[in-house]
Chain A
Amino acid sequence: MTRDLSPPAPQHAVDIQGVRKAFGPNTVLDRVDLRVDAGEVLALLGANGSGKTTLLKILATLLRPSAGRGRVAGFDLAKDVESIRARVGLLAHGSYVYEDLTAAENLRFWATMAGLPADQASLQSALRAVELDQVAGERARTFSSGMKRRLALARILLGAPRLLLLDEPYAGLDQKGKKWIEEVMLDFKGKGGAVIVATHSFGRGLSVADRVAILSGGRIALDRARASLDLEELHRLYALSTENGA
């Protein structure tokens, strides 16, 4: 059974306006406007606590915004939660990996839960794509954090999402792994998917980004095309905005 992801085919993978999120008296996001087109990679930079994870969780429908509206993958953020979930892949801080299941069993579980084909060939192909096919039968408990992250990515890509939300995707990865994940992003973008990669480590993700946004103090402090910024200027703006946002 293949999930039907055809209609609608939106120009904007993400289009949100005036999104605000508060936890009690603490406002984490304040009037955030953001638009990401299909086939575009957005590097979302920001210091720790700037609201990157909260924003990604709102886009993935894990959190509901306190105010504001928007569409993700062409669907209304407030009304079409299930449709969004079927089209968005979130690589979060947690890997969603069951430690006592093998890599293949983990994929089988999540594929079945998502209503995707869970036959041996599909699972093996997904594991091969993240270079874990050799350890398919080993328990996740024995994996490094980088391997768990790759297994999480295999789970996401198995669902053929339209939008990838990557929260600190480089955490726990070595240089080879970091390069590999950038290749995954480029490949995904080449197929028309949109990517938002949130990171606090300046420099990472910029090589594949079409646009750069800086989140500071819960607001978008900068949103520009990557080509229009040189690295030094971007570094200065990032330093400035994180100081102001702190």
Chain B
Amino acid sequence: MFARRAWIVLWKDLLTERRSKESLNALFFFAFLLLLLFEFALGPDRERLAAALPGLLWLGFVLAGLLGLGRTFLVERENDCWEGLVLTPGDKSAIYLGKLAGNFLLMLIVEVVLLALFGIFYNVDLWSALAPLSVVMILGTAGLAAVGTLFAAMTARVRARELLFPLLLLPVQVPVLLATVKATEAVLQGLPLAEVGQWLKLVAAADIIYLVVGLLTFEFILEA
């Protein structure tokens, strides 16, 4: 029953996004804009680019994530669907899990496109580091999506949500960002994943903590 409810929330969110394309269109445009800005800022200096690339990648992921995550619960405000979710009997954390899964998938899609554009724009060989980079991206995105979904729910019904959402999210994301940037840097230098094991463990631990906190507290946020 729990899995069925989480699945139907994911199905609803993906179907809605596929039809409206509200988030994806905005995210792709935003990602493209970021690439252009980085290109102008860094110029053709390859060494500067190589040093800045891990940070730029995650800056792009986080900024695109902020934009996408902030919209997660807007669809629930239309026609008071939020109220309907409150009134459904049963464990509300299934709603959180479904929303989280939807956000995770959308963010991954945008990240894959952004990564490909980075490779093309800056003529960087990301292909050889793709497998370890994917592990870092999946772990980092899971943390961002877990805490982002929770804070998006928290701020969905407040007037200053555009201001509050990043203010709440970014400080909490610091350990994940720090670890993912460090791990990405090492992976892009050709080091094996084992070399960045401690950073990956940190991200994985943060992911688990964020997920558990989200599952335990979502009901109170929804009912507040």
A residues with a Cβ closer than 8 A to B are 60-62, 82-83, 85-86, 90, 92-101, 105, 108-110, 112-115, 139, 148
| Those 9 A-B pairs whose CB atoms lie nearest each other, nearest first | A94-B80, A96-B84, A112-B8, A113-B88, A86-B89, A85-B89, A100-B19, A100-B16, A94-B79
Q: Which residues of A contact B78 (CB under 8 A)?
A: 98-99
Q: How far is the CA of A99 from the CA of B8 in the complex (A)?
A: 16
Size of the chain B interface, CB-CB below 8 angstroms: 24
Structural contact, A93 and B80, CB atoms closer than 8 A? yes
Give the contacting residue for A113; candidates B5, B19, B80; CB below 8 A.
B5
Structural contact, A148 and B89, CB atoms closer than 8 A? no
Structural contact, A85 and B88, CB atoms closer than 8 A? yes
Q: Taking chain A's interface residues, is the majority helix, strand, or loop, or is none over half, making it mixed?
A: loop
A94-B81, A100-B15, A109-B12 given; 7 more Cβ-contact pairs under 8 Å: A82-B89, A96-B79, A99-B79, A113-B88, A113-B90, A115-B1, A115-B90
Structural contact, B16 and A61, CB atoms closer than 8 A? no
Q: How far is the CA of A108 from the CA of B8 in the complex (A)?
A: 9
Known: A100-B15, A100-B19, A105-B15. Contact between A114 and B79, CB under 8 A? no
| CB within 8 Å: A-B pair count | 71
Closest CB in chain B relative to A142 CB, distance in Å: 12
Q: Taking chain B's interface residues, is the majority helix, strand, or loop, or is none over half, making it mixed?
A: helix
Bitwise, B203-221 to A at CB < 8 A (1) or not (0) is 0000000000000000000
Q: Which of B1, B4, B75, B87 has the most CB of A within 10 A?
A: B87
Structural contact, B89 and A115, CB atoms closer than 8 A? yes
Closest CB in chain A relative to B22 CB, distance in Å: 9
Known: A90-B87, A114-B89, A115-B90. Contact between A98 and B5, CB under 8 A? no
Q: How far is the CA of A139 from the CA of B88 in the complex (A)?
A: 23
Closest CB in chain B relative to A123 CB, distance in Å: 13
Of the A-B pairs whose beta carbons lie under 8 Å apart in the complex, a sample of 9, sorted by A's number, is A85-B87, A97-B81, A98-B79, A109-B8, A112-B5, A113-B88, A114-B89, A114-B90, A115-B5
Closest CB in chain A relative to B75 CB, distance in Å: 7
Known: A82-B89, A85-B87, A113-B88. Contact between A92 and B12, CB under 8 A? no
